[in-house]
Amino acid sequence: MNFKNLFLISSLVTIASAATGSINDFSKYPGIVDLIQANTKNYKSNFKYTFTDGPIYSGDGTAYGDATSGGNCLFPKKEYYNDMMYAALNNKQYNLDMGCGLCAVVVSTSNPYKAIRVRIIDQCPECEHGSLDFSDKAFKALSNMDPARIKITWALIPCDVDVNEYPALVKSNSPIKFQFKSGSTQFWGEVEVFNTRYPVAKVEFLSNGKYESLYRRAYNYWALNSGGFGAGPYTFRVT
């Protein structure tokens, strides 16, 4: 399958609000306050319908193991499990896959140790507003302790930002990537969008000169209301 034109317009995601946190929680970590402030200057436009009371939140931090595949977002293993610095987002903010691909800088307020960067690849159904469930590796890096329940504060950042020793997960000016679901044909198909600076809110497919909105499946793939995408090449518009 071939792609003809790929567009990234912006990232507008509708997610329920969570408990807000304070920028002061990051003050003991050199450079982090400046990093957050520099990368949230355009917060109101980049996250116009996302976390409207943000961009900083507080909640509980827990851990759920070091899985190397799966997760509700179904991101490609090779692309999304390289450094194992990931987290699951609480159910209310996750909002039917809308939180997939979100990047955040996190600190612990109850067990302060180090500021880390994580990416959302999964959902935590039992977690409350503002809470994150980390990989064991991310939890250890954050708190220097074995898995438990701690207090955290985290801030939204674009995924092309370096955070201390954690390099950007999306390289500057790198293209958006697409992956068709296994079994897709010209008559039936679903497509996943990844390698974006912000979570994806909308995907459209150019058909007969008009853009048609795709709907998001529960496992983070996008599909037409009926039928497939045809033989290609394809033009998608991503928001």
**CA 197, 201, 207, 209 torsion-angle sign:** negative
Per-residue pLDDT of 102-138, as tens digits, reads: 999 999 999 999 999 999 999 999 999 999 999 999 9
pLDDT of 10:
37
Per-residue pLDDT of 168-223, as tens digits, reads: 999 988 999 999 999 999 999 999 999 999 888 899 999 999 999 999 998 999 99
Residue 1 has pLDDT above 70, yes or no: no
Owner of token pair 């809308």: 98
pTM: 0.86
Domain 12-157 has CATH 3.40.50.10860: no
Per-domain residue ranges for the chain?
Answer: 3-7+173-238, 12-157
Domain 3-7+173-238 has CATH 1.25.40.420: no
Helices (H), the chain: 32-39, 43-46, 77-80, 91-94, 136-143
- Mean pLDDT of the residues in the chain: 87
Select the more confidently predicted residue: 54 or 18. Answer: 54
Contact 180, 187 (CB under 8 A): no
The amino acid at 175 = P
Running DSSP on this structure, what letter comes out for residue 25?
G
pLDDT of 25:
96
Residue burial 73-92, b: 16+ Cβ < 10 Å; e: rest: bbbeeeebbebbbbbbbbbb
In which order are the strands placed within the sheet that holds 3-8?
3-8, 234-238, 203-207, 210-213
